[in-house]
Amino acid sequence: MKIRGVMPFRPLPAALAGFAILSISTAVAAPRKPAAPTKAAGSAASATPGPSDWRTPDPQDVLVIDTNKGRIFVEMAPQVAPQTVERIRALVRQHFYDGQTFFRVIEDFMDQTGDPKNNGTGGSSLPNVGPEFTFRRGADAPFTVVDHLDGQEAGLLGSAPVISQPIALAAMMADNRVNAYGTFCPGVAGMARAGTPDSGNSQFFLMRGTETKLDHDYTPWGRVIGGQDVVRAIKVGEPPEAPVDHMDTVRLLSDLPPSSRPHVRVIDAASPWFAAYVARVRADKGDGFTVCDLELPSDIK
């Protein structure tokens, strides 16, 4: 099972043609391409956040992925993709992902895993999950706007980067909500699928870089909040040369024994620290600024 979407740019060997990235939807314009990182963006995060600048994620929404390269923490986004998040939780509690490899890894793009066959053609025994490319956002959603572009709002819903219709339009909608979608910034977790939108099952990928052409074509269901350096350290290849990097175990933070459960907190996107950080990054990037330029510091002990 390979993700489908950028094949015109990265051809694959015929042996890996199971679940592949195929054509990209062009119905929705992608956000502006982010500029390259600069030192100023890093200095923006140098100020020390205060106690009120942090939030503690729901431990049922945090995946702890132990790999041979280190530990990755992913905060799932049930408001963005509730069915997909529930599927990931169910498979994690079956220990389904333990021992599976990162069988397809592309530099500056993504790490793909979640196949029990470890070759891109397998899945779980559970039924497929339908697409959750968009969702309905209400005024009660914890959404922090960081940019406006083409009549849309870009920001963070929890830790997930999201593009949305302006919330002011909600008053004109029967359900008092507006359309929104997750965008594929670095660290975003997405659901792999085959040629049809309803073919997601168990395979997923973690973004090494930005690829907004995947928006509206794949389901984003979370974001790495700790261990992005591990994501980028996974061995590259289609498939990688042996020995292939792998996941030792995948657990929900809530299911770890209290004695060995890490304490996880992440910067609150609604905090004064984050607002100042956004202002500094925006000033540095100028017209090239996008939500994908923003990092979300975490504190994991």
Mean pLDDT by 10 residues, the chain (301 residues): 39 34 31 36 62 98 98 98 98 98 98 96 97 98 95 97 97 97 98 96 98 98 98 98 98 97 98 97 96 97 96
How many residues can be counted in the chain?
Answer: 301
Distance CA 12, CA 69 (A): 26
Burial 214-230 (b: 16+ CB within 10 A, else e): bbbbbbbbbbbbbbbeb
Q: Is the pTM for the entire model greater than 0.75?
A: yes
Tell me the domain boundaries of the chain. Answer: 14-27+34-300
Paired with 246 in beta bridges are 101
- Rounded to the nearest angstrom, the gap between the alpha carbon of residue 163 and the centroid of all alpha carbons in its chain is 14
| Cα–Cα nearest to 211, from 109, 66, 121 | 109
Distance CA 150, CA 143 (A): 18
**Rounded-to-5 percentages of helix, strand, coil across the chain:** 25, 30, 50
In tens, the pLDDT along 24-59 reads 232 333 333 333 333 333 344 458 999 999 999 999
| Residue 227, C-beta contacts closer than 8 angstroms, at least 6 positions apart | 65, 70, 71, 72, 73
- Please name the CATH architecture into which domain 14-27+34-300 falls: Beta Barrel (2.40)
